[in-house]
Structure 1
Amino acid sequence: MLVLFLVFRIGPTLGAAFLSLTDYRLSGDWAFVGAGNYARLLDDRLFWEALGVTALYTALYVPMTVALALGTAVLLHRTLWLRGFFRGLFFLPYVTSIVLAAVIWKWIYEVEDGLLNTALGGLGLGPVDFLGSESLVLPSIAAASAWKGFGYSMLILLAGLQSVPREVTEAAVIDGANTWQRFRWVTLPLLRPVLFFVLVIEAIGAFQVFDAMYVMTAGGPVRASYSLVYFLYDAGFKFFDFGYACAVGLVLFLVVLVFSLIQRRLVGREVD
């Protein structure tokens, strides 16, 4: 496993770091430019717009997904009847193709005959252009992605809930704590390491968002859903500016690293 990790993870990462310092073209010609690609990024307005879109999407997606996963995990932890069935049912979207899920949700959001606007029409509301509105497109994609991805975090959190010592909860009951107090002051602190892991993996997935935006909106409207990975894709595979694309990837890596360290500081501290 160490050899596989070095070959398929560390090796490509080091290669990308080197390419980010070069002007590498599809023909194989390259020239060393040092920090030139990073200087270009600082002056690239499109890069900053893509970074802002990615940050806003992350701020929408992560709380939505973690809240959905935690709420579902709590319900499954308390449910005794058909627990395995519901666990598989809620996990099913996670193993569905992201492209297929994006196509389904694109139809759900359709203005003319989409499922959601049909339901709103029955209530005398709408229609709402969920994917054509600059203010609604990111929340709409985040909701679809949360439906697609919350199942994995749900299982992780459910395992964490099942590992909470029962005697600690029983002691809180004896002390007179109600359901909310037990959850807030007993369960959540003991769940903190698991919650930290879930927050980190969901944040990493949010920063790397591309497929859903590519399929549902193609980055529109007016680049309102143009993420940083979409910008990287265009630089590398549309304009074949591989050195510049690698620089974007390294910046994304640093952003995710800093964000994970902040989460570690706020959430991941050990509980005595």
Structure 2
Amino acid sequence: MTTATTAKKPAGRVTRVLARREARIAFLFVLPAFLLFIAFRFGPSIAGVALSFFDYDITGEISWRGLDHFQRMIADPLFWRAMGTTLIYTVCAVPIALVLSTVMALGVRRAFRGARFFRSIFFLPVITSLVLAGSIFVWIFSANGPWSALMAPLGLGGSWLGSTVLVIPAIVVVGVWSRFGYGMMILIAALQDVPRELEEAALMDGANAWQRFRYVILPVLRPTFFFLAVIETTAAFQVFDVIYVMTQGGPANASYSLVYMLYDQGFRYFDYGYAAAIGVALFVMTLVVALIQRLVIGKQK
């Protein structure tokens, strides 16, 4: 017995040594890709934060400005206008996208004839170029487009993109159209974890559709809703391509978002330090909203 026990100890020690060696070899193989990821993922972010404290022009001259860019940003009425536009777009687009994604996911989660076809059709806007789609929506929302004719009986005819009041709803429509398919696919995957026996038991107990969703499905989807809320909020704060193609920030800066202002300051006026400061403010705002969503939606694991 003693001999057998003694023989097992060296064998276990050898196994641990081989495991450590294999781990070191695996780490060496992964290290180049990891370093590249760190350099290209976090390097530009750190450089952007640092740039917000400097003045930099295309000639390569750099001068220290400290908090001047942030003080200028706080005193800039255009910044607050852009922040208000971004917040209004986010408050409108994110809940609509989440609700529409949930409805579509519940509608196509079961296997039926044509389910894959409908899933593909609903997901198609996600992989469609927003530059191409935005050009088409410019015509749709024009005074002679089909949307104007459809809304005319409600007194909302005319060009929505030329109205300071209706331009944000028009961009929200395009933004939700381009995003709801992604949330739908994520929710369809999450719905597979809902025990079908619980749904059938609730149905036999007389629970209606809303009660089954609220007490059986929603608790399972809570972590997924938190994930989608963060992703959709981040995407809404970063809205740019739709605005660039459809409105160029107009009319009268009614659709002038924070990211479009960042683009304007950096690539039109070449004020890179101020543009970087706007980017830092956008990051902080996104982080704060994500933390609030974590407290409100993600209380349970």
Shared fold by TM > 0.5? yes
Kindly provide the CA deviation profile for residues 50-74 of structure 1, in whole angstroms up to 9, marking residues without a partner as x. 0000000101111111111111111
Aligned 8 A contact 2:123 2:181 in 1? yes
What is the letter of the counterpart of residue 179 of structure 1? Answer: A
- Give the 5 Å matches for 1:1-272: 2-78=34-110, 80-112=112-144, 114-120=145-151, 127-270=157-300
SS at match of 2:109: helix
Kindly provide the CA deviation profile for residues 216-249 of structure 1, in whole angstroms up to 9, marking residues without a partner as x. 1111111000000011001100111111111110
Runs (5+) with no aligned partner, structure 1: none
What is the letter of the counterpart of residue 130 of structure 2? Answer: I
Q: How much has 1:150 moved relative to structure 2?
A: 1.1
Q: How much has 1:173 moved relative to structure 2?
A: 3.0
Aligned 8 A contact 2:54 2:62 in 1? yes
Q: How much has 1:145 moved relative to structure 2?
A: 1.3
Runs (5+) with no aligned partner, structure 2: 1-32
TM-score with structure 2 setting the length? 0.85
2: CA distance, partners of 1:186 / 1:32: 58
Aligned 8 A contact 1:64 1:143 in 2? no
1: CA distance, partners of 2:205 / 2:40: 53
2: CA distance, partners of 1:246 / 1:119: 42
From the superposition, tell whether residues 180 and 14 of structure 1 become closer, same or farther in structure 2 (CA, over 3 Å). Answer: same
Aligned 8 A contact 1:66 1:198 in 2? yes
Q: How much has 1:165 moved relative to structure 2?
A: 1.9
Q: How much has 1:126 moved relative to structure 2?
A: 5.6
What is the letter of the counterpart of residue 252 of structure 1? Answer: L
Larger radius of gyration, structure 1 or 2? 2
- Among all aligned residue pairs of Structure 1 and Structure 2, give the percentage whose two residues are the same amino acid: 48
Aligned 8 A contact 1:73 1:158 in 2? yes
Aligned 8 A contact 2:194 2:217 in 1? yes
Q: How much has 1:118 moved relative to structure 2?
A: 3.5
SS at match of 2:42: helix
Q: How much has 1:270 moved relative to structure 2?
A: 1.6
